[in-house]
């Protein structure tokens, strides 16, 4: 989902400093982005997030691809297939015990109907976070990333994200990174486009200097 030009102009008027950043960084692309992301199921997106946690990209991709290879076809194993695979096979693919437990918990909740991913896009942001964080290994940050990058929600503010905190420190010329509470308070003028502001803060961290 993409914001309208009028919404972006209004955001820049509410926060001129952020507006200067928005003019200097790549345009907010809207999400989900790319054919691969669109084709990936909600279950696969969440399972992939679990696999990739706290790992470098290359190592995570290797483990992910090994798990994919455990079942026929090119796609990630379905929830019922994950539950049917023996622990030894999943551990052999490189999953840690914690990630194995998280992946099985996710698959079990989807299979039982406790977590209804087909209809989750019709839920409010708060409801999505509440549902996803019942799954072992999925915390608030992971749920917020799902909201932003998978469901394309425009008003997500991951206040605990270090990149967002560092971007806001640079934006406001602070000596220290703001706390999550301070980020939330500062982000109020950015509603209903806090996802766009988050994107800008992440990109700001990539810049050598503040835009003039």
- In angstroms, the CA 62 to CA 20 distance is 40
> Which of 161, 172, 206, 208 is labelled catalytic?
161
Cβ(47)–Cβ(63) below 8 Å: no
- In angstroms, the CA 193 to CA 12 distance is 11
Q: Which CATH number characterizes residue 135's domain?
A: 1.10.340.30
Q: For residue 43, give the H/E element and its range.
A: helix 42-52
For the segment 150-183, what is each residue's pLDDT rounded down to a tens digit?
A: 999 999 999 999 999 999 999 999 999 999 999 9
| Residue 212, in any domain of the structure | no
pTM, to two decimals? 0.92
For the segment 47-87, what is each residue's pLDDT rounded down to a tens digit?
A: 999 999 988 889 999 999 999 999 998 899 999 999 999 99
Range of the domain at 47: 35-150
**Residue after which a domain boundary falls, among 105, 128, 150:** 150
Neighbours of 96 (CB within 10 A): 14
Output the six-digit token pair for 192. Answer: 């209903």
| Residue 44, in any domain of the structure | yes
Q: Is 80 a catalytic residue?
A: no
Give which of 40, 43, 95, 46 is closest to 67, Cα–Cα: 95
């Amino acid at each position: 989902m993409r914001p309208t030009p009028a919404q972006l102009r209004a955001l820049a008027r509410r926060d001129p400093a952020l507006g200067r950043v928005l003019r200097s960084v790549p345009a907010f692309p809207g999400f989900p982005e790319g054919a691969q992301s669109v084709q990936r199921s909600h279950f696969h997106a969440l399972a992939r997030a679990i696999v990739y946690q706290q790992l470098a990209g290359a190592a995570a991709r290797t483990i992910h691809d090994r798990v994919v290879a455990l079942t026929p076809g090119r796609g990630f194993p379905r929830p019922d297939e994950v539950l049917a695979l023996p622990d030894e096979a999943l551990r052999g693919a490189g999953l840690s015990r914690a990630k194995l437990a998280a992946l099985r918990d996710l698959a079990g909740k989807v299979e039982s109907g406790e977590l209804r991913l087909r209809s989750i896009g019709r839920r409010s942001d708060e409801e999505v976070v509440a549902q996803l964080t019942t799954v072992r290994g999925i915390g608030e940050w992971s749920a917020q990333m799902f909201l932003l990058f998978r469901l394309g929600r425009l008003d997500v503010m991951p206040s605990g994200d270090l990149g967002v905190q560092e971007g806001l420190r640079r934006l406001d010329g602070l000596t220290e990174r703001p706390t999550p509470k301070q980020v939330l308070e500062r982000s109020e003028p950015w509603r209903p486009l806090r996802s766009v502001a988050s994107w800008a803060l992440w990109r700001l961290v990539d810049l050598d200097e503040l835009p003039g």
